[in-house]
Amino acid sequence: MKYRLKNIDCADCASKIETELKKVDQFKNASVDSALNTLTIDSTDLHLVEKIIHKIEPDVKVEKLDRKINPFSADKSKTKHEIARILLVLGLFVIGMIFRKELQATEYRWGEYLLFITAYLISGWGVSLKAAKNALRGRVFDEHFLMTIATVGAIIIQELPEAIAVMWFYNVGEFVEGLAVNRSRNSIRSLLEVRPEFANIITDGKLISKSPEDVSIGEKIIVKPGEKIPLDGIVLEGSSLVDTYPLTGESIPRKCDIDEEVLAGMINKTGILTVEVTKNFNESSNSKILELVENASSKKAETEKFITTFARYYTPAIVIIALCIAFLPPLISPSAQLSDWVYRALVILVISCPCALVISIPLGYFGGIGGASRRGILVKGSNYLDALAKLKTIVFDKTGTLTRGVFKVTEIVPSNGYSESELLKFAAYAEYYSSHPIAESVKEAFGNEIIPAKISTHQEISGQGIKAEVNGDKIIAGNDRMLHTENIEHHICDVEGTVVHIAVNKIYAGYIIISDIIKDDAKQALDD
C-alpha cells in the first residue's frame, strides 16, 4: 500500500520513521520517500502504521493516496505563508540591526531584545517546540535539537543577531529545498497527463460519463475523436487512427480496426470507436505507467540507503564533538576563554545540521528523475540512475528520439517508363482521403491541387496500403506485403526510411522513399 505523510517537513524525521517501521516484523519493504512525503509499505493495517508514526512524529497525518488527485500537486497557500514569515523576520532583523546602537545607548535598550526576540520566536518557535516534544519522547539528537541549542546558546552569550540569522537562514534553506523538490515534481506532472478523466458508457441506450475507476470489465465505452482512451479494451465497432505517443513515444499514429486491442492513454484521432473493456482501471496500461511514475523515487539506490544509516550515528557524534570543542580547550589551557570556545562549538552545531545531509542525496536523485521526465524519459527508480553509469552500449529508438517525427519525401525512383512527377501524382491521388502522416507528406510533396472527382473508388487496407481508381487507372500504393498479395513484381528496397511502392494497372511504376528529419542536435547528443 502507498500512503501520503502530511505535515512532515524534515528529511531526518522521514528517515527515522522508515527505520522504526522496518523494525516491525509484520511490515516488509517499508520505504519513506522524503522528496514526495510518501510511504510505501506491504501492509493494509493503517491503524498500526499510524500508531508507530505518531510515536515519532505526533503531528504527521497518514492518508491513503487517491489516484484521482495528482500526487505531485503543490500547496501554494503554504508557500505564500512561508514567504511572508521569512520576509517579516528579515524586516525585524534589519530594523533591529539599524537601530541597535541607538537603542543600546538609551534607556530603551529593552527595545533591542523586543525586536530580536520577536523575530526569533516567529522564525524559530516551531523548531524549538518540536525539539522540546522530541526530547520528552527521548529523541534528543535531531536537527531541531541542534538548531535550538545553538541559537539559545547564542542568545545566552548576548549574540542575539547571530541567533536570529542562524534560524532565518535555516528557514530559508528549508524553503529553497522545498522549491527544488516541487520543481522536480512539476517535471514529472507532464507524465501524469496520460491520466484519463472520464469514460463514455452506453447504459440503457444512453451515453453517460463515468470515472474510469467505476467502469467494470465487459462494459462498452464510446471514444470520440480527440479523446483519450480511458481503459484497455477490444474495438467492437469503428475504425480510426490512434496516437500511441503518450505510451510508446512513437510519433506515427496506428491504424485501428475491429477486434484490435487499444490501451488506456492512447488518443483517438479520427473515427468514433466502440470499445469493450477488458481490464479494470487499476490493471490497465495507463495505471501501470502512473504507478511507475509515482514510485519512481521509492526504489532507493545503495548510496541513499547508506546515508540513511549514517545519519543515525552522525548527530550524536556532532554533539559529542561540539561538547569537546566547548570545554576541553579551557580545561587544558588556562589562557583559553570559555565563551570563545562555546561560541565555536555553537557554530559547529549549526553548520552540522543533519537535514541537509539526509536530503542532499535523495534530492539529487529526485532532481535527476525530474530532469529526465522533463525530456520525456521515465526512470523507474534512483537505483537505475546508478546503473546508467555502468552502461557501455545504448540502443535508441529512431523516430521522435533522434529524429523530429516530421516526415517528408526524400527520394522518388520511377520504373517501367514512368517519370518522377507521374509517380508522385499517382501516389498523391491514391493517398488523398488518408490522414496518415505518410499520406500527408506525399500530398505535401506533390504540391498541386488534387481534384477529388477524378477518384472514383478508394479502399484503405490496414497494415498494407491503399487501392484507388483515378481517371480509369487502378492505382496501388502500399508496402511490400501489399504488392506480394497482388502478385506484382517489384524492387526489393533496402534503404533508410519508409518505402511506398506504386503500381498502375498491375504494372510496377516505382517507389517513393519517405524519411524522418534528423534533429539538429542528434549528433551532438550521441557524441556527448
What is the 8-class DSSP label of residue 519?
A: P
320-to-317, 338, 527 alpha-carbon distances in Å: 5, 17, 50
Q: Does the annotation count 9 as an active-site position?
A: no
Radius of gyration, CA atoms only, the chain: 33
CA 383 to chain centre: 16
- Supply the DSSP string of 175-237, one letter for each residue: HHHHHHHHHHHHHHHGGGGG----EEEEETTEEEEE-GGGPPTT-EEEE-TTPBP-S-EEEEE
Sheet containing strand 31-33, edge to edge, reads 31-33, 38-40, 2-6, 61-64
What is the 8-class DSSP label of residue 377?
A: -
CB 410 within 8 A of CB 514: yes
> Distance (Å, rounded) from C-alpha 102 to C-alpha 356?
38
> Distance (Å, rounded) from C-alpha 127 to C-alpha 123?
8
Question: Which residues, in sequence order, are CB contacts of 231 under 8 Å at separation 6+?
Answer: 196, 199, 212, 215, 221, 264, 275, 277, 278, 279, 280, 281, 284, 286
Residue 281 phi, psi dihedral angles, 5° rounding? -60, -40
Alpha helices in 447-514 (DSSP H): 480-485
Which of 59, 75, 214, 397 is an active site residue? Answer: 397
Grid cell, residue 231, equals 481503459
Q: What share of the chain is helix, strand, coil (3-state, %, to 5)?
A: 50, 20, 30
What is the 8-class DSSP label of residue 264?
A: T
Measured in residues, the chain has a length of 528
> Distance (Å, rounded) from C-alpha 327 to C-alpha 323?
6
> Distance (Å, rounded) from C-alpha 187 to C-alpha 369?
9
CB 383 within 8 A of CB 296: no
> Distance (Å, rounded) from C-alpha 197 to C-alpha 68?
9
Sheet containing strand 455-461, edge to edge, reads 403-414, 507-518, 498-504, 473-478, 465-470, 455-461
> Distance (Å, rounded) from C-alpha 465 to C-alpha 438?
11
Grid cell, residue 49, equals 502504521
Alpha helices in 107-159 (DSSP H): 110-136, 143-156
Active site residues: 397
